[in-house]
């Protein structure tokens, strides 16, 4: 079998989960070739972005505890959460929503905190929104973790003037009235807004707009919600696909092709959650192998969705000027028993860690188009990195995945060819192995390997023609069971362990444990 055929088999497996004949045989190692001489696109670090919506305990408690809190904090922002997020080098945080963004009025969230109005959060439990975490607190949080702002402006219930004012307040270096207000509120220097979302799910909670109506709004907002600082580039992201529904992509890209001097965008979004059936009811713990396989299958559909959106974009933009931003993704599961309705709190298992790894590998394979992605969400909500309980903090299996992938930030994609094999559960057939490789800025070759099969180990013979290596070293994320989770009582049930292998005869053999993620560098 040629490398080309193996690549085709691997891609086909990732795309369709089709049955493939195992070439290596169960007991043999699967050959995997990393083609270091054929570098692909840069894997932008922004695909490792986070999402922090005013939802449940995501911002309040999860990030913001207030300066008076006994929980150690810096200007009201939890020190433990900041330290954990710095370690995964968060590139950007999308804020303030989600659905919340289309009901957010930024002027409620500036000025003295004790004078800010209490408003409502009708989308998420109908709770009071105290507005104590507003623009300055968000920007302070970003400074503390070293991330960029991905701001979503209110297209659903706001006005172009309100958004234009927010951008002027944030970005202008000129002494306008809004800039002076910003200075009076403690920040004379302009803030940076490198990414701007123009609406959120405008087909749904963001206003139920038809594609054409949204396009007319987009043109207005893209014109007036300006970046007022020419020294600081800003990428504007339009609303795009709702999973399989691509009507927005078609309408936005057709309009973009005929754009005038008066407006432009730099990206278009895609939202897709790993869910088997809506409303999401799959258990976060205590699930069986069928639910495990079903959710992985749902995750692997990401590739097909990216291909579909990319194909439409290619029609209007063959030079790939407009990027794809998968700014909501992750597993959406049944809520943790006893938690409030609308707070979207769910446990996070080894299965969810694999869901994260499979998605990241998929984004990396589409690195020529996918330049931004944001997992939903950062703390205490949906597929979170971090859980908090008063003064305690816990790292989830998904957090460890993001930490293991740090070497892939801004690395260069390298093609891999291998026979993915088949993992079967009942009627469901999935690739047994998923792999992605890249070269970092120092020239080191990294490979991320997922063994989807929860019962069988698999050995991989890694070969990198043209690269001499003595061995491989890195980490593997394994767990006692597919539904193993970390809890405040047992916080280290799922955590990475060191792995290494020697190279012999040009092959580095890694043995992947069942249902595991392994990330190694060739040395």
The residues annotated with a catalytic role in the active site are 201, 328
CA distance 491 to 332: 22
Enumerate residues 6+ apart whose C-beta is below 8 A from 474: 404, 446, 498, 499, 500, 518, 519, 520, 521
CA distance 306 to 291: 24
Q: Which residue is nearest to ligand AHR (CB)?
A: 98
C-alpha angle with apex 121: 194 to 221, nearest 5 degrees? 35
Quick one: 271 or 400, whose CB is closer to ligand AHR? 271
Quick one: 33 or 202, whose CB is closer to ligand AHR? 202
Q: How far is the CB of 50 from ligand AHR (least distance, A)?
A: 12
Handedness of CA 22, 28, 34, 35 (dihedral sign): negative
Element (H, E) at 345: none
The conformation of residue 426, written as its DSSP 8-state character, comes to T
Structure tokens of 142?
């970003």
Quick one: 52 or 178, whose CB is closer to ligand AHR? 52
Q: Judge whether 9 and 431 are in contact, CB under 8 Å.
A: no
Q: How far is the CB of 206 from ligand AHR (least distance, A)?
A: 8
Helices 350-365 and 397-404: crossing angle in degrees, nearest 10, is: 30
Q: How many CA atoms lie within 13 A of 365 on its CB side?
A: 24
Enumerate residues 6+ apart whose C-beta is below 8 A from 118: 128, 129, 130, 131
CA distance 178 to 333: 43
Element (H, E) at 499: strand 497-504
Q: How far is the CB of 15 from ligand AHR (least distance, A)?
A: 26
Structure tokens of 214?
């949204």
Which residue in this structure is represented by tokens 């407009």? 322
Secondary-structure breakdown of the chain: helix, strand, coil percentages, each rounded to the nearest 5: 30, 25, 45
Quick one: 201 or 461, whose CB is closer to ligand AHR? 201
Please give the sequence-ordered ranges of beta strands (E in DSSP) within 232-322, or none if there are none. Answer: 235-242, 267-274
Quick one: 31 or 330, whose CB is closer to ligand AHR? 330
Q: Judge whether 134 and 353 are in contact, CB under 8 Å.
A: no
SS3 call for 492: coil
Quick one: 123 or 422, whose CB is closer to ligand AHR? 123
Handedness of CA 377, 381, 382, 384 (dihedral sign): positive
Residue ranges binding ligand AHR (CB under 6 A): 53, 97-99, 200-201, 328, 376-377, 382
Q: How far is the CB of 7 from ligand AHR (least distance, A)?
A: 35
């Amino acid at each position: 079998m040629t490398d080309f055929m193996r690549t085709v088999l691997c891609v086909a497996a990732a795309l369709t989960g089709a049955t493939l004949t195992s070439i290596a045989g169960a007991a043999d190692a699967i050959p995997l070739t990393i083609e270091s001489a054929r570098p692909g696109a840069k894997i932008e670090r922004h695909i490792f972005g986070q999402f922090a919506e005013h939802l449940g305990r995501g911002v309040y408690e999860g990030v913001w505890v207030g300066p008076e809190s006994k929980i150690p904090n810096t200007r009201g922002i939890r020190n433990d959460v900041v330290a954990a997020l710095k370690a995964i080098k968060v590139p950007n945080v999308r804020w303030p929503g989600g659905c919340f963004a289309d009901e957010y009025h930024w002027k409620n969230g500036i000025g003295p905190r004790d004078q800010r109005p209490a408003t409502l959060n009708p989308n998420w439990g109908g709770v009071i929104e105290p507005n104590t975490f507003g623009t300055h607190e968000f920007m302070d949080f970003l400074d503390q973790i070293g991330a960029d702002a991905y701001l979503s402006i209110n297209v659903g219930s706001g006005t172009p003037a309100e958004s234009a004012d927010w951008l002027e307040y944030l970005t202008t270096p000129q002494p306008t009235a809004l800039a002076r207000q910003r200075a009076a509120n403690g920040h004379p220097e302009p803030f940076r807004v490198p990414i701007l979302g123009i609406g959120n799910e405008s087909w749904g909670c963001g206003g139920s707009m038809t594609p054409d109506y949204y396009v007319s709004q987009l043109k207005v907002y893209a014109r007036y919600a300006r970046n007022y600082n020419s020294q600081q580039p800003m990428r504007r992201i339009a609303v795009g696909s709702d999973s399989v529904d691509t009507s927005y992509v078609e309408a936005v890209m057709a309009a973009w092709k005929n754009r005038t001097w008066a407006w432009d965008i730099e990206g278009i979004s895609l939202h897709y959650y790993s869910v088997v059936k809506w409303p999401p009811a799959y258990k976060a713990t205590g699930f069986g192998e069928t639910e495990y396989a079903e959710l992985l299958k749902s995750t692997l559909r990401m590739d097909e969705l990216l291909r579909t959106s990319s194909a439409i974009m290619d029609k209007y933009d063959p030079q790939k000027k407009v990027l794809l931003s998968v700014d909501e993704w992750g597993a959406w599961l049944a809520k943790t028993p006893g938690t409030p309705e609308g707070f979207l709190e769910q446990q996070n298992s080894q299965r969810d860690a694999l869901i994260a790894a499979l998605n990241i590998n998929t984004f990396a394979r589409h690195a020529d188009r996918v330049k931004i992605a944001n997992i939903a969400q950062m703390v205490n909500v949906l597929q979170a990195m971090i859980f908090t309980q008063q003064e305690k903090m816990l790292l989830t299996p998904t957090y460890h995945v993001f930490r293991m992938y740090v070497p892939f930030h801004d690395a260069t994609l390298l093609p891999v060819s291998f026979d993915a094999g088949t993992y079967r559960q009942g009627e469901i057939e999935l690739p047994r192995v998923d792999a992605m490789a890249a070269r970092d800025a120092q020239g080191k070759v990294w490979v991320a390997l997922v063994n989807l099969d929860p019962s069988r180990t698999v050995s991989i013979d890694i070969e990198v023609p043209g690269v001499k290596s003595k061995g491989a070293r890195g980490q593997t994320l394994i767990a006692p069971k597919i539904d193993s989770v970390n809890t405040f009582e047992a916080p280290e049930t799922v955590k990475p362990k060191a792995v290494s292998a020697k190279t012999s005869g040009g092959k580095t053999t890694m043995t992947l444990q069942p249902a595991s993620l392994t990330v190694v560098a060739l040395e």
